[in-house]
Structure 1
Amino acid sequence: MDPVPAPAVDELRLKASVVEVTANDGPISTTPQGHRPDVAGGVSQPDSDTEDSDFDTSEDSESSGNNWETKSLYEDSLQFIRDDQLHDVPGTCTLAEAVAFRKRLHAIGKAAFAEETIGQGTITAKKLCTAFGIMPPSFLEGAPDRAYHPLLVMGINREYSRRIKLPNYNTIDDAVELLKKATNIIVLTGAGISTSLGIPDFRSKDTGLYSKLEYLGLTDPQEVFDINLFREDPKIFYSIAKDILPTEKKFSPTHAFIRLLQDKGKLLTNFTQNIDNLEANAGILPENLIQCHGSFATASCVKCKFQVPGEQIFDSVRKGELPECTACKERIRNQLCGMKRKRNSNGAHRKRQNFGDSSEDDNDYDIPSPGVMKPDITFFGEDLPDAFSQRLIGHDRERADLVIVIGTSLKVAPVAEVPGILPRNVPQILISRDPVSHIDFDIDMLGECDVVVSELCRRAGWDLQHEMILKDQKVDITSKEGYVSRFWFTAVNP
């Protein structure tokens, strides 16, 4: 059977800088995250709602040169609303209406859908946005309905390109059979696979790293990983770096599960967003591993790019100190020795003629400083390594026969776009503590990652060895009405 083609992909899209995909997985906020109240004045608002002929759902219109500033503003303030929140917010579509609109879009296409809804005036753009999971921003409150068109275009385009769940995979037994039959598995991992080792994830309420950074006084705690802020003041990053630094050469049962897939010849690639380098501890081979956001395995000088093994800066990091470049220090020492010899050979150093003198001798008065070592992790604002897009597009895309997403909310692009880039007939399952609302996985298995993978291995008849897996561990599995392929796993101590 011919494979179902994946959506067309521009490889440059995967080389974009790391950015946050804002999604509302908690209570609805009336003010868009990061939005400035005075921004609304910068949005060109039409005077009337009478002309709808400019409503264009093509991809080109969404990124046209004339609209990029407005599009950026809308995307920056974009919030998602989950299906289970629709009944809590006034003026939204009902769940039944939202599902019907989505099915209709896929059945007749974008242009016909836009004409049938907005073109015929059967529903407002503001309300229709909620059918596609977009919360109308507060700064547009009271604006003409056409002001919501850019948001609606984004929502329609996202939904139309969204991966559709495969109907023939729904149960835990289905997941086990997929594991047993697959031979080229992509495993996409996030911070949730390391939390059992005491390494915090980033976004969990109260326990996540971002929730603990309020004392830094940042506008957004994610700024601690902003490359521009690091260049301006690296002390901010190093004040918290010790909290995410791997302390011992340990790895979790989930890491052991990925190693087991490798040992069985089933692992195609482990794309990890983690920077702790614990995959190396578990024995994941470099040829099977793509560290999408880099890692602490190496560190480089921000001035001279001198690179060292990451362990060489660990002592400084644990003390909260700035690790300085040893190559820069050596070069400075040699320069100072040369300057001293020059002064000795010329006798007393001449007095400068005036304060504004710009002669070469001014260089003798400069105080050189060594560069700061930066772990080779990818900060927000930096490009992902070329290996990411090259591996995904050039090697894995047409080989993968199963995708397992473990311990990540998939909110950081371009890694978050991976599920939608792969062929549509490739099964995808999620193993995580919380559901991912913006991607339709075939099977959701929710709970502690270590518990879920150990139970899957038990059911598959695989021997997953790890000291943290309790002997004769029992797992309680529950489901909820309305979710045919979502299950909750809870360990029951023997």
Structure 2
Amino acid sequence: MTVREAADLLLKARKVVVFTGAGVSAESGIPTFRDALTGLWARFDAQALATPEAFEADPALVYGWYEWRRTVVGRARPNAAHTAIAKIEAAIPGTVVVTQNVDALHEQAGSVSPIHLHGSLYAPRCSSCAEPATPPDGPGDEPADGRRLTPPACEHCGAPVRPGVVWFGEALPMDALEAAVAAAADCDLLITVGTSGVVYPAAEIPQVAARFGAPVIQVNPLPTPLDDICTVNLRGPAAEVLPELVLSLPPTAAR
């Protein structure tokens, strides 16, 4: 099916969910977990670092890696896909943005209060009492040796502060998951963008919308396990496809 057919669905919609994955931010130069690490981090497995067990075993190693990652993310800028999503949100007030990404590029592009299913690099918390810690200011500096950086102590209990992301083996934040499922169950269109459809339970979100009868538009360069539930599959980079889709919105709304 074509962008025109997808645009017709968008024009009729009043409650849209835009569900985004790593592919959206990858177009801003942010490496995904499936990309090979470079430089001094090349000898580490990203998935092995992103676990509670890794942090417990070597907090300075894991915290240092996340500070390096935050530095990379902090230097990135929203791309045309982020901007197009913000335009959809502005044009259709019932739009809810749900993201698996831990950066703040949706917010920088103009999206209001996206639901972060996997947490955020900008919301650190205590590893023991879970109290929020002071968010980092700016992109930060890469750890001097490129590897280890001692995490700050919690102001409440003195335990090490950890990154505010969901690690492998951890449950998603219940409030975010419940809000995302509720939005998907209530929407009349879901647009899934740049996600592989294999990371659960987040991958259930488009399936919830489909089960409740909403059409699903998928934007992805490659086929995914979500293909079969989608009404429209648009192949291509999000930064190219989504701006085309936004052109279908009324001129005053799509600015």
TM-score (norm 1): 0.45
Task: Pick one of 128, 153, 165 that aligns with 1:377.
Answer: 165
Residues 148-167 of structure 1 aligned to structure 2 (within 5 Å): none
After superposition, what is the alpha-carbon deviation per residue over 1:422-459, rounded to whole angstroms, capped at 9, x for unaligned?
23521111112222135412222122211111122235
Aligned residue for 1:49?
A: none
Rg larger for: 1
| Aligned counterparts, 1:232-251, within 5 A | 232-241=57-66, 242-245=68-71, 246-248=73-75, 250-251=77-78
1:174 aligns with 2:1: no
Deviations 1:206-243 (A, max 9, x none): xx256986512x5xx41221122222212333343213
SS of 2:241's equivalent in the other structure is helix
Paired residue for 1:197?
Answer: 28
Residue 185 (str. 1) matches residue 5 (str. 2): no
Stretches of structure 1 lacking an aligned partner (at least 5 in a row): 1-169, 332-369, 466-494
Distance 1:398 1:326, change over 3 A: closer
Q: 1:229 aligns with which of 46, 54, 58?
A: 54
Query: Which amino acid letter does the alignment assign opposite residue 184 of structure 1?
Result: K
Matches within 5 A, 1:26-425: 170-203=1-34, 208-209=35-36, 215-216=43-44, 218=45, 221-241=46-66, 242-245=68-71, 246-248=73-75, 250-286=77-113, 289-312=114-137, 315=140, 319=144, 320=146, 321-325=149-153, 327=155, 370-393=158-181, 395-422=182-209, 423-425=211-213
Q: Distance in 2 between matches of 1:282 and 1:237?
A: 29
More helix by share: 1
User: Match for 1:452: what amino acid?
Assistant: V
Look up the equivalent residue of 1:442 and give its one-letter code. T
CA-to-partner distance for each residue in 1:164-192, whole Å, 9 max, x for gaps?
xxxxxx33211011111111111110111
- Residue 432 of structure 1 is matched in structure 2 by 220
Distance 1:308 1:317, change over 3 A: farther
Q: Give the number of the structure with larger relative contact order, counting CA–CA contacts within 8 Å between residues 6 or more apart.
A: 2
Change (3 A) 1:225 1:432: same
- Whether contact under 8 Å (2:221, 2:237) holds in the other structure is yes
Asked if 2 retains the 8 angstrom alpha-carbon contact of 1:293 and 1:378, the reply is: yes
How many pairs are equivalent? Answer: 246
Q: Contact 1:274 / 1:293 at 8 angstroms: preserved in 2?
A: yes
Q: Secondary structure at the match of 2:246?
A: helix
Q: Matches of 1:176 and 1:214 in 2, distance apart?
A: 42
Residues 1:421 and 1:306: Cα distance change in structure 2 (over 3 Å): closer
Q: Which residue matches 1:448?
A: 237
CA distance in 2, matches of 1:459, 1:282: 20
Give unmatched runs, 5+ long, in structure 2: none
The sequence identity of aligned pairs, in percent, is 26
